[in-house]
Structure formats: C-alpha cells, structure tokens
Amino acid sequence: MAISGKPQRVVPPSPPAPLADEETVRKLINKGGSVAEPARPKEADGRVKLMNVQLRVMPTLLEEIDAVRKARSSKRRKTPSRHEWMLEALEEKLERERKA
C-alpha cells in the first residue's frame, strides 16, 4: 500500500488592498501622535506589577542573614522576614550608589 501526503488545500489569492489616496495619507501624517513609551507591566487596577526574581544564595550567607535578623528583633518589633530584610538591604545599597 502506497502512502501519500495530505492533500493541499487550494486557497484563492486575495485581491490586492486598495491604495490610499494622497489626501488620506497626508491627514494620517499630520494627525501625529505620541512617542512610544516602554510598557511597564500593570495590574488590572493600575498598580505596577511586581516581578519575581530567583536568587541563589550560599547557605552560610543565609545563616548569617538569619542571625542578623534575629538580633534585630525586640519585644516591640517582630523579626523581619528574609524577603523584607533583603529588600531593605537592596534599597540601602541603591541609595549609597545614587550618592556616589
């Protein structure tokens, strides 16, 4: 038994799009517009969407971070989470870099 390929569907060629007249082209050009801005991902309610970032850290560094976090806690303040602590550290580093 011979194997044959799938039959090809014949699609008629579409008619060429009509060319715009000179006046329509001039109106479009003179209409102008705004400069494109890079899109920032946003939530449905307009807030800027948070981005997920994967961070690989040596276990010894995590142990040191945990020790600093626990030493910073008191009865009035709870221990900041690793996430909060790292965000705070990043913000401090960026502030130092801006001043330099």
pLDDT in tens, 4-35: 888 888 888 888 888 888 998 888 888 887 77
Can you tell me the mean pLDDT for 78-85?
90
pTM: 0.51
Q: What is the dihedral of CA 39, 42, 44, 50, to 10 degrees?
A: 160
Residue 1's pLDDT is what? Answer: 64
Tokens 């991902």 correspond to 41
Asked if residue 83 has pLDDT above 80, the reply is yes
Residue 54's pLDDT is what? Answer: 93
Is the Cβ–Cβ distance between 68 and 88 less than 8 Å? no
Euclidean distance between CA atoms 24 and 21, whole angstroms: 6
Is the Cβ–Cβ distance between 63 and 52 less than 8 Å? no
Asked if residue 40 has pLDDT above 90, the reply is no
